[in-house]
Amino acid sequence: MALHFSVQENLLPDRPIVDQWTMAQDIGFDGIELRGMDAASLCARLPELEKAVASGACFPSICVITDTFIGAWDGDRRSVALDTMKALIDVAGAIGANGAVTPASYGMHSNFLPPFTPERDATGDRSVLTDMLGQLGDHAASAGTQVFVEPLNRYEDHMINTLAQGVDLLDHIGHGSLKLMADLFHMNIEEADSAAAIDAAMPHVAHLHLADSNRAWPGLGHTDFTAPFAVLKRHNFGGTCAIECLSGGDPKDMLASALAHLKSAEEGA
């Protein structure tokens, strides 16, 4: 089974979404990953997105981009994050997306950086995430889509850093609408063997983020994409692999080069 590649919308030139889709498709991408900054702004885009889908555009995923996450210390902030994610899920369902992406948190605390001690213990973290993700799983099921939980590296989050930790949490919650997203940049830091980690986490893994080892365009670092792609192909992976990386250079040239690098890795898998 051929892999499906998409690109986050911010890596395309700032144009109307239908024009971005035309460019992405011309380069060879199968879809565009949308970014959800907040509930109001994303919901306001829904008519434009539905029109684009009606004309043939494909938006397989929506990634939350915010400063408030479901694992926040403060209950009020968690409520805001929950409402934001529910809006992403609603839009995902309306446009036929496979799912909406969220980490437990981002930039809130690292056990490897001062002050080293979190405001909540691991038992409290698990309780909060079980509650929040359980609610999101129910909402996703009613919307006909999924939630993709993203492990981040130890310097960006302290709760879920590896795919194995994600599997453990999702097995504990036991909700069919909750899946994992594997980000090869974070895995480059946290996993001893990214391909083996993905293999062990199947069938929970339903979406990927792709960047090279230095967070740059695929092909500009030392990440081995071939081995993870071989695992995906062996499992007949039906999800999407979305480029999420630092921008730089001419977008069209860099996107074409990055996709060519990924396609070459797929051919070698």
Active-site positions read 150, 244
Dihedrals phi, psi of 112, to nearest 5 degrees: -105, 5
Q: Is the peptide bond before 16 cis (omega within 30 degrees of 0)?
A: no
DSSP state of 11: G
Contact (CB, 8 A) for 166 and 201: yes
Paired with 212 in beta bridges are none
Burial 65-88 (b: 16+ CB within 10 A, else e): ebebbbbbeeeebbebbbebbbbb
Q: In what helix (H) or strand (E) does residue 114 lie, and over which residues does it extend?
A: none
CA 182 to chain centre: 7
Indicate if the alpha-carbon torsion angle 25, 235, 102, 255 is positive or negative.
negative
